Amino acid sequence: MAQKLYDFLLLLALPWVWSRLFWKARRESTYRQRIGERFGRTPPALSRGVVWFHAVSAGETNAIAPVVRSLQQRLPGETFLVTTMTPAGSARVQALLGDIAEHCYAPYDYPWAVARFLRRAQPKALILVETELWPNLVRQTAASGAAVHLVNARLSERSYRRYRRLRVLVRPMLARIDRVVCQYEDSAARFRALGAPAVEVAGSVKFDAELPPDLFGLYDIGFGDAPTWIAGSTHPGEEEIVLDAHRALLERHPRLHLILAPRHPARTPEVVRLCAERGLATGLLSERARGAPVLIADIMGTLASLYGLADVAFVGGSLDRTGGHNPIEAAAQGVPMTMGPARFKVEEICARFEAAGCFHPVTGADDLAAVVGELLDDANQRWREGEVAKAVVEANRGARQALADKLFEWLRRGRASAS
C-alpha cells in the first residue's frame, strides 16, 4: 500500500519535476542536455551486463572514482557504468573515469523510467554511494536479480528522523539491500534501527582522497605574500555573507585577497555582480587573472588545489540548507577551516576536526569575519591548526582500500555464482 501511494504521489509531482528541471536549465544550461536519460532513455552505445555505480554529484564521484578504478584493474572483464544526477557529477565522471567507465544520468524514480533503464543496462550489481536511496530503483534492481550494495553510507540524525516517519516504505527498501557499508558507527546504528539487515563500518573514503596535480598552473595567481582566504563550494545566499565578511576584514587587512569558488561555476556572472555591488574588483580563474582582489574560481576540479593557496578556508553549503560540503580537501592542504551550522551531510567528518581543535563553527558574516580575522592575525595558530588538520586526515585513511577489497570479493563471488 505504501509503495502504491509513493508511486501515485510521484505521478502527481511530475509537472513539478518538469518545472524544476526547466528552472535549473535556465540557471545552468547543461541541465538542458540529455533530458531523456533522466527518464530511462539510455545512450544507444550503453553496454549490457554492467557493474553499476550510482553517485549523485561531484563530491560522491570524487570519493568513489579511485574505488571504481581499482576494481576495473582487478576485474578487467567487467564493464563499469557510473551514473549521476547532476551535470557537475557528470563532468567529474568524464574527467576521472572517462577512459575506463561508461556514463549516463540515472533515471528519476518513476517505475516506468527505472524499468526502461534496467531493460537496457541489465546490471549485474548496483553500488549506491552515500545516501542515494530510492524505493523503485532499489526494488526493481533487486527484483531483476542484481545485488544491491550501499557503500560509504552516511545517515544524519535529521535524515534518520525523516526515514523513521516513512518506515513503512523505507524498511522494505532496506531489506532488499544486500549490504550497507557505513562511514561511521553512528550512521550504522541508525541504519540498523531502520531495519537494514547487514550493516558494517569501514570509515569514509573521502579521507583517502589524493591531492590532484596542478594541471591548471595554480602555483602562481599573483598574490605574492599577501594574506589570502578562500570560500569553497558556495551556494546562493552564501556569497553575500562571505563578501560582507571580506569587506569587514579589509579594514584590518587591506592587502587581503579572497578566492571565491561557487559550487556551480555557471553562476559566475551572478557572483561577479554581487562583488561589483560591493565595490570589489574581480578576476576569473578561467581568464588566468593574476593578483585579483577577489579571484572567482570558475573552473571545475581546481578547488582542492586552490585550498593550498589560502591561509584560512570557509567551506560552503553550510550557511544555507545544503548540509555542508567536504572539508577534507582543505584539511589535507593544512588549512584551518570554518563552516556554518548546516553540516548534516558531513557531521561525522566535521566532528573529528572539531574535536581536534582545527575547526571553527560560524553563523553569519560577523563571526565569519571575526574567526578569519583571528586566524589571519596569528600565524602560529594557523600553523598549529593546519598541522592538526593534516594529522586527522592521515589518522582516518584506509577506508578506500578496505571498501575496494570488500566490493572485489562480493563481485567476484557474484560472478562465480552466475557462471
Q: Is 78 a catalytic residue?
A: no
Taking phi first (over 0 means left), then psi (-120 to 50 degrees means alpha), and beta for anything else, what does residue 195 get? left
Largest CA distance in the chain: 70
CA distance linking residue 191 with residue 187, whole number of Å: 6
Angle at 399 between CA 103 and CA 315, to 5 degrees: 75
**Distances, alpha carbon 79 to alpha carbons 18, 75, 133, in Å:** 32, 9, 23
Axis crossing angle, helix 135-143 with helix 2-27, rounded to the nearest 10: 120
Cell digits of residue 314: 570557509
Question: Which residues are catalytic, by number?
Answer: 60
